[in-house]
Amino acid sequence: MSFDVDKTVKAIKDMRIRGALDIAIASADTLYGVVNSEARDTNELLSMLRDAGEKLKSARPTAISLPNSVNYIIYVAERNKDLALDEFREKLSAEIKNFINEQKNAIDKIAEIGSRLVDDNDRILTHCQSDTVINLLRRVNEEGKEIDVICTETRPRYQGRISARLLAKYKIPVTLIVDSAAFLAMKELNVDKVIVGADTIYANGDLINKIGTSQIALFAKELDIDFIVASESIKFSPESVIGSKVVIEERPAREVIRSHIEGVEVFNPAFDITHAEYIDMIITEFGVIPPQAVYSIVREKFGWKLR
């Protein structure tokens, strides 16, 4: 079983599994595998789960959805540690399945709520690739509203191309631009709304998302364009209530330049912070909220963690 854990960790590190929700679900799924693997007793299984959880959490540092998912499952496991092995397995398997279903329902709920915010003939700009955003745009299209989307290519890993390909597959008109064309495109092509995903949202409403998000938010402010975030509450950070911040992942230089250039350093942060004052609204599975309302959802949803 540890092979499967290592396999998931590697796939997350190499970004073959990526996107904040997908890495959370993949981790939960992997822990489900651990719960149902060989062990002598509940104690041993609990310690296997803790070890697997630590490994999974170390795979990527910035998306809080990953530790949120692992920590929740370990919390449930610890609360049930007095159960006999079979009962423990049964209880935890059901809880993990529930948790995964909740995440899958959340993404659809966000699409349902968010689609009401998008008008016929809207031109939307999105950055990077967020399943949550793509699912929302797909829903808008299925409802018969005519929209078109501008995707930034999102260097250095070009996840914007994945977004563009998916939107084209769903028959949504889509235009790909280089990241540095964002301001011009937003202004000259009359973008109506920016909609992006999230990796982490702090209790004060600050957003951590793919590098380049914050400058798009600045442009949106300057041009008076709505800047909207689509995020499941699993991406809210309970630790931020006590002042803890996530580490902004720095990725290898080879993602930016193919081969080393003598005398040239490369700085390759994968995420940046967009402060709450640049965010008009956040679409969650509980409804549309201002960034200032994140705190109360964190207190309610992550009470188990904050106690």
Query: Interacting stretch for ligand RI2, rule CB under 6 A, among 15-23, 37-45, 48-56, 138-146?
Result: 15-23
283: nearest Cα among 245, 232, 249, 236 = 232
Tell me the per-residue interface mask from 199 to 228 with ligand RI2, x by CB under 6 A, - otherwise.
Answer: x---------xx------------------
Residue 139 backbone phi and psi in degrees, to 5: -65, -45
Q: Toward ligand RI2, which CB reaches closer, 1 or 248?
A: 248
Work out which of 53, 160, 197, 212 binds ligand RI2, going by CB under 6 A. 197
Q: Find the angle CA(23)-CA(246)-CA(70) to the nearest 5 degrees.
A: 40
Residue 306 has phi, psi (to 5 degrees) of -80, -15
Contact range with ligand RI2 by CB under 6 A, out of 26-34, 79-87, 192-200, 221-229 = 192-200
Residue 92 vs 230, nearer CB to ligand RI2: 230
Nearer to ligand RI2, 18 or 193 (CB): 18
Given a contact cutoff of 8 angstroms between Cβ atoms, the answer to whether 151 and 175 are in contact is yes
Q: Does 18 bind ligand RI2 (CB under 6 A)?
A: yes
8 A C-beta contact, residue 233 and residue 300? no
Nearer to ligand RI2, 88 or 271 (CB): 271
| DSSP-derived 3-state class of residue 46 | helix
**Gap between the Cα atoms of 283 and 150, Å rounded:** 20
Looking at the Cβ atoms of 141 and 159, the one nearer to ligand RI2 is 159
Of residues 128, 151, 206, 280, which has the active-site annotation? 128
Interface pick for ligand RI2 out of 20, 45, 106, 185 (rule CB under 6 A): 20
> Cα–Cα distance between 232 and 81 in angstroms, integer?
29
Which of 117, 177, 191, 270 touches ligand RI2 by CB under 6 A?
270
Is residue 160 near ligand RI2 by the rule CB under 6 A?
no
Query: CA-based angle 158:159:162, to the nearest 5?
Result: 110
Annotation marks residue 151 as catalytic: no
Give, to the nearest 10 degrees, the angle between helix 20-35 and helix 85-115. 160
Rg of the chain on CA atoms, in Å: 20
Active-site residue list:
128, 199
Residues binding ligand RI2 (CB under 6 A): 18-22, 128, 130-132, 159, 196-199, 209-210, 270
